[in-house]
Amino acid sequence: MRGFAILVVVLFHIYMKTHFVFAGSLFGWQFDAHTFVEAGYLGVEIFFFVSGFCLMLPFAVWLVGRRPKQTWPEYVSRRFWKIVPSYYLALAVVVFFYPFQAQPGIAPATDALLHAVFLHGFNALSFSSLNAGYWSLAVEVEFYVVFPLLVWGFARSPIVATVATTLLGLGYSWYIAAHNLDGVFQFAYQLPSFLPLFAIGGLCAWVHERWIRGATLARTTQLELGVVALASVAALAYVFEQANRGGGGPASWGWENGHRLEIAVVLAAFTLAAACATPFAQACIANRPLAFLSDISYNMYLWNGAIIDWMGRHWTPNAWWAPTVPFSALAFVLTVLFGWAITRAFERPLMRARFEPIARLFRRRPASTTTAP
């Protein structure tokens, strides 16, 4: 799912620069991918759902009694080393060498500082400054901060916690729609609006650990759930098409704000059904290309905007001497290469060698097996 999400996000950003029509024929087979490309911004919605699932997964394992609870220092350490170093590397390049989307109404030092502490989402000018795609990192980190509250609620009742969190998000979406703010980018893309995605993703992790992991299903049941997964893909395509019909801009932002619950439900249906499908169906879903893109998706996301913009400034798409096909192909290849190189040479070495003095101080020690004299 993460691999598919980064694929459509990058293709969407390429489309925004080139307006290349992702349609044609190959060996007599007609294809048209405009729905997924032109509404590729919905890939961020998938990222948030997957984030809710992955963050909750180790705590779901604890809730069902399979292993000890992950300590909060360990949680913070894992999030820091996964997110911050790679982000700071990309941010440094954008701030000092290529501020291609800097906003003139905000001081560069203030803009850089707000981005460095992930508070740029609360300022109208910095929200989409430097690199417009970084707005989602502010939302993600804000969720990291409130996530312990969601775990606290899950420890008491996963269903109640999910419903309460989802209703809180829907209430925010209703409020900004009622005040005609859902067409304002900064309001439509704040953390509360995405809470249904995060919460339902977390619920799927709990359901997976509670009922799916280790369960033995009849082959007919697996086949039936495979059909459900396929139907969920069709439903997701319908969601993309409906978003695409919004035409972009404020209308699409408002549409997203009003339909995040439906998006979360479709993604949940796909996740749980695919987890119960036949091994062959699972292998098709978790295929090598998408697994590879998933592995490097974070750094692809950090760098694709700058790469595509830089190419556009040196190679004007649609000119007679610069057709969009090679531009689009090269932009995608360079994004993949950057994502792969930085993931392998920078992010992963740091994660393997991360220094966790605080985690070691607070990590639970095994109980003593000896008795006091």
Q: Per-residue pLDDT tens for 216-266?
A: 899 999 999 999 999 999 999 999 999 988 777 899 999 999 999 999 999
User: Which tens digit of pLDDT belongs to each residue from 201-219?
Assistant: 999 999 999 999 988 899 9
Six-digit token pair at 72?
Answer: 């909060």
Pairwise CA distance, residues 219 & 35, whole Å: 34
Q: Is the pLDDT reported for residue 355 higher than 70?
A: no
What DSSP state is assigned to residue 276?
A: T
Q: Rounded CA gap, 45 and 188, in Å?
A: 13
Please check whether residue 6 is in contact with residue 305, taking contact to mean a CB–CB distance below 8 angstroms. no
Residue 26 CA to its chain's centroid (Å): 31
- Give residue 115's Cα distance to chain centre: 18
The string of DSSP codes covering 46-57 is HHHHHHHHHHHH
The count of residues in the chain is 373
Between 367 and 194, name the one with better pLDDT.
194
Give bridge partners of residue 322 from the DSSP assignment.
319
> Which has the higher per-residue pLDDT, 303 or 366?
303
* pLDDT interval class at 91 (50, 70, 90): very high
Position 33 pLDDT exceeds 80: no
For residues 299 and 343, what is the distance between their CA atoms, to the nearest angstrom? 7
At residue 140's C-alpha, the angle toward residues 263 and 186, to 5°, is 75
Measured distance CA(298)–CA(129) in Å, rounded: 19
Contact 66, 214 (CB under 8 A): no
At residue 319, the pLDDT reads: 58
| Of the candidates 90, 7, 18, the residue with the CA atom closest to the CA atom of residue 41 | 7
31, containing H or E segment: strand 29-32
Q: Are 157 and 129 in contact (CB under 8 A)?
A: no
pLDDT at 370: 45
Label residues 33-48 b or e (16+ Cβ within 10 Å = b): eebbbbbbbbbbbbbb
**Within a 10 A sphere around the Cβ of 238, how many other Cβ atoms?**
13
Tokens of 274: 């695919």
**3-class SS at 126?**
coil
Chain centroid to CA 372: 51
β-pair partners for 319: 322
> What are the residue ranges spanned by the domains of the chain?
2-14+33-353
- Amino acid in the structure at residue 8: V
For residue range 343-352, list pLDDT tens digits in order: 999 999 998 8
pLDDT at 361 over 90: no
Looking at residue 286, what is its pLDDT? 93
Question: Which DSSP symbol is given to 366?
Answer: P
**Average pLDDT score over the chain:** 91
Confidence of residue 367 (pLDDT cuts 50, 70, 90): low
**pTM given for the model:** 0.92
Q: Is the pLDDT confidence value at 321 over 60?
A: no
Residue 360's pLDDT is what? Answer: 56
Please list the alpha-helical segments (H only) found in 180-317.
185-188, 191-207, 219-244, 250-258, 260-275, 279-285, 288-295, 297-314
Parallel/antiparallel/unpaired status of strands 29-32 and 23-26: antiparallel
Task: Note the maximum CA span of the chain.
Answer: 89
**131-162 residue pLDDT tens:** 999 999 999 999 999 999 999 999 999 999 99
Give the DSSP letter of residue 346: I
Separation CA 163–CA 228 (nearest Å): 23
Which of 13-17, 226-230, 303-307, 363-367 shows the lowest mean pLDDT across its residues? Answer: 363-367
How many of the other CB atoms lie within 10 Å of CB of 100?
16
Residue range 100-117, pLDDT digits in tens: 999 999 999 999 999 999
Count other C-beta atoms under 10 Å from residue 360's C-beta.
11
Cα–Cα distance for residue pair 3/12, rounded to 1 Å: 14
Residue 160 burial by Cβ neighbours in a 10 Å radius (0-12, 13-18, 19+): exposed
Q: How far apart are CA 360 and CA 137, in angstroms?
A: 28
